[in-house]
Amino acid sequence: MQQTLQNWLYKRGIKKPVATVITQVLVDKDDPAFKNPTKPIGSFMDAEEAQRRAREMGWNVVEDAGRGWRRVVASPLPKEVVEFETVKTLIDAGVIVITVGGGGIPVVDVGDGEYRGVAAVIDKDYASSLLARMLKADLFLISTAVEKVALNFGKPDQKWIDRMTLSEAKKYLAEGTHFAKGSMAPKIQAIIWYLEDGGKEAIITNPENIGRALRGETGTHIVPD
């Protein structure tokens, strides 16, 4: 991603450096998610191998949609981007920063000033929202698989949304019927947190329409009330 972005900037005569910062993201060691691991990770296994790893390595394993067995880990909420000051220093110096990849590397504070990695997966939308709030970003854009957000997605009464307010986003999310839990719901929640913390505008669109969305021609624009 860093190489491709740098190449496209060069072709357009834009002289801006690009850097990737691998980030640790702090989570609460007492987050309730650790008591209910639900996020599948890693390769598929047969039942015998899964049970052996559960027995010998303490893994939580589940059967995944008839395709085999997989390990599951917790998905706790992100609390702090550990390398935030490094990211901000680079941005202030004019560097385009690629960071919190995959939601960041989850760590906990063990209480003596040290961080320790934990078996978990942080939602990338939540981590991006946290970073946008810490940076006081003017715009929070989430790139996804669809051009716009839809109400009643995939149903006969599906309706594409060009614009919604923070209150409307909270209402639609609370109704629980519009946004799938594993796809659009966390994106809407991430934007709600961003706007509640003083964010000015958020956009959801797909990669090929980012330019048009920034010009106000497409995408779903979510703004404060």
User: What SS3 class is residue 84?
Assistant: helix
Query: Residue 80: pLDDT above 80?
Result: yes
The reported pLDDT for the residue numbered 111 is: 84
pLDDT digits (tens, 9 = 90+) for 160-203: 999 999 999 999 999 988 888 878 999 999 999 999 999 999 99
83 and 21 Cβ atoms separated by less than 8 Å: yes
Q: Which residues contact 163 (CB under 8 A, 6 or more apart)?
A: 220, 221, 222, 223
User: What SS3 class is residue 98?
Assistant: strand
Query: Residue 100: pLDDT above 90?
Result: yes
Domains, the chain, ranges and CATH? 1-28+76-121 (no CATH), 37-73 (no CATH), 136-225 (3.40.1160.10)
197: tokens are 């913390």
Gap between the Cα atoms of 102 and 123, Å rounded: 8
41 and 64 Cβ atoms separated by less than 8 Å: no
pLDDT digits (tens, 9 = 90+) for 25-60: 999 999 999 999 988 999 999 999 999 999 999 999
pLDDT digits (tens, 9 = 90+) for 122-153: 999 999 999 999 999 999 999 999 999 999 88
Query: Residue 220: pLDDT above 80?
Result: yes
Burial (0-12, 13-18, 19+ Cβ within 10 Å), 53? middle
CA separation, residue 91 to residues 17, 27, 61, 78, 103 (Å): 10, 24, 41, 21, 19
